[in-house]
Amino acid sequence: MAKWICTVCNYVHEGEGPPDVCPVCGVGPEKFVRAKDEAAKSPDGDSPEPETLEQVRDAAREQLLGICGVYPACDGQPDRLCQREAYGAPIGLGGAGSGASFAANYTALASLKLKTRLVGDHFDPDTKSRFCGLELAMPIMGSSTAGPSKYTDGMSEEAFCRATIAGCRSVGSLSWRGDTYFYTEEEHPALDALEAEGGAGVPIFKPRAQDVLKRLIERAEKMGCPAVGVDLDGCGSTIMARHGQPVYRKTTAELRELVAATSLPFVAKGIMAVEDAEACVEAGAKVIAVSNHGGRVLDSTPGVAQVLPEIVEAIGERAVITADGGVRTGYDVLKMLALGADAVLVGRDLIRAAIGGREKGVALQMTQLRKGLSRGMLMTGVPTLNELDRRVLV
Ligand SMILES: Cc1cc2nc3c(=O)[nH]c(=O)nc-3n(C[C@H](O)[C@H](O)[C@H](O)COP(=O)(O)O)c2cc1C
């Protein structure tokens, strides 16, 4: 007998097919997804290594029961089961408040259309890219994320971090790593994972007290990370303070102090306004990460793709500009690059990939993104990333 999960309320139905109506929340059969069998359940157990992204996503759906429906479209719409924060539920993989900022990321990208260009010499698209002195196989990286071990019982936080770092590295990319309330100076799963993986990733710390940040940055520098940064929008995190780890808004002078504390390129993440981008560049940041944290800290912001062009125009060549938020396909990557991003990051899809298939799952997800980008470049007539600009947009 198969199990069917209601993706709205999480009710589990057993039968040959989904029920006509969910007895708990009343939605129809189209809101049910089929649960995988037990064998695919725990990536920590002896489940076989996934071969396809479909298998990875099926396994993630099981692991994330009640947290994320692993829907065909991760779009932040109000009827998605992750969107419950407005009424006091934990944020899980959802957005802050109504989820409008999360949804705006998705719709801003969806509203952009690509221009098909077919006549001309044939070419094999070259997706090679550079970031902070490293050559990458693609201009796509894993975003800084933290906390998935709290949503699943099959995976430790350090294992999650290692899966993203190793999975990205295995396909010639790089993962950034996050910071959250149960990471402390003494026990920091992201730094532990980076240490175990030879420093092959970019730690992004919450805007903690200056002295704490300087010590964390020093540790990252010693292990050879290519860059280090702070998610400035993390100052909106109330859960950090509740766990005795307060976070703060930062002044330009404080940012300058952090930049001066390291020889590594400094990433200022969470930038959504030209004024903040200017201030961070003035403070010496080498990377401006345009992001609204996947819509998780402030409700009712525009989508990242909406604010990206004005930030790119203001900053020009003075800093590397990355963008994340709502990127689900290689075509979305192409759109962000067309708007002027130098590189693009992916959050939720890599969390699901790591939970459903560990390092292999992450590699499969990243490869899928690279292939989509490559096909997009071919079909819009762009042989190399240097030649990519707004002309690919209709
Ligand atoms: C569960 C979850 C945890 C996150 N944790 C962090 C974090 O610790 N630090 C950080 O800078 N951003 C964090 N983010 C935001 C991501 O870095 C990124 O900005 C966002 O996920 C991109 O949007 P997407 O998920 O739609 O791709 C988190 C996002 C999610 C979904």
Residue spans of the domains in the chain: they are 2-97, 129-392
- Residue 49 clears pLDDT 50, i.e. is over it: yes
Which phi-psi region, left, alpha or beta, contains residue 333 (left: φ > 0; alpha: ψ -120 to 50)?
alpha
Which residues form ligand 1's pocket by a CB distance below 6 Å? Answer: 93, 105, 143-147, 178-180, 204, 231, 269, 291, 293-294, 296, 324-327, 346-348, 351
What's the pLDDT band for 39 if we cut at 50, 70, 90? very low
Q: Which atom of ligand 1 is nearest to the CA of 293?
A: 19
- Residue 42 clears pLDDT 90, i.e. is over it: no
Four-way CATH pick for 2-97: 3.10.105.10, 2.60.40.1180, 1.10.4160.10, 2.20.28.10: 2.20.28.10
Q: Can you tell me whether residue 153 is helix, strand or coil?
A: coil
Separation of alpha carbons 265 and 269, rounded Å: 13
Q: Which atom of ligand 1 is nearest to the CA of 148?
A: 1
DSSP 331-386: HHHHHHHHTT-SEEEE-HHHHHHHHHHHHHHHHHHHHHHHHHHHHHHHHHT-SBGG
Q: Can you tell me whether residue 124 is helix, strand or coil?
A: coil
Q: Which helix (H) or strand (E) holds 220?
A: helix 210-222
Separation of alpha carbons 105 and 96, rounded Å: 13
Judged by average pLDDT, the poorest of 71-80, 225-234, 316-325 is 71-80
Residue-wise pLDDT for 215-257, tens only, equals 999 999 999 999 999 999 999 988 898 999 999 999 999 999 9
- Residue 110 clears pLDDT 90, i.e. is over it: yes
Architecture of the domain defined by 129-392: Alpha-Beta Barrel (3.20)
Separation of alpha carbons 43 and 321, rounded Å: 35
- Residue 309 clears pLDDT 90, i.e. is over it: yes
